[in-house]
Structure 1
């Protein structure tokens, strides 16, 4: 069952991003270099992150500072949202997100190559469509 998520505060947006990538606070801390206690306090809206922390988190999640600071209603750029009801597909997307957002560039490259090999026809069609746009 999908949970209703309110993105009305910076903390809620950070919590949403972490949970949607299926990361623990400890894993996120390790991958970003930020302390898990600070990350927890940011998510609870107990303290505001520093400018450096905001840049680190936006880079890690590949989102704009505009979206993180202002929220989706006031931001000009919104991350794409995807509602997935199939549990197997949810697991696959979660694994892909972890691979792509993780800090290992070799693993990220491997995942891209494997995805392209497995879905070559779709990958090629999507690349051509993007090139034509």
Structure 2
């Protein structure tokens, strides 16, 4: 897995809110120890926890993963035009057909899926550009 900046970004975001690790952990349904391990880069959050943290801090998963310096997940500066078009086409082609077990997703669930997909996509592209 590529080097991450998750811990540093989580610390900075928590500091901006002037909150303790305990307060953040409780808000997202984690133990303080679990959250501490993320901040100290001992463990990485799974995709579901990553989304919870991104939603709590109101940033993109891409930002937490270190794929962009923009908290809102705008396209990384190193992305090529082809990268941008590939992701845009995929998301447009699949935006209204997202289901889970045959059941449609709510708008919020679709946003979460999109954030996760974008994070995975930019991770893969970032590795190619190294």
Taking structure 2 as the reference length, the TM-score comes to 0.49
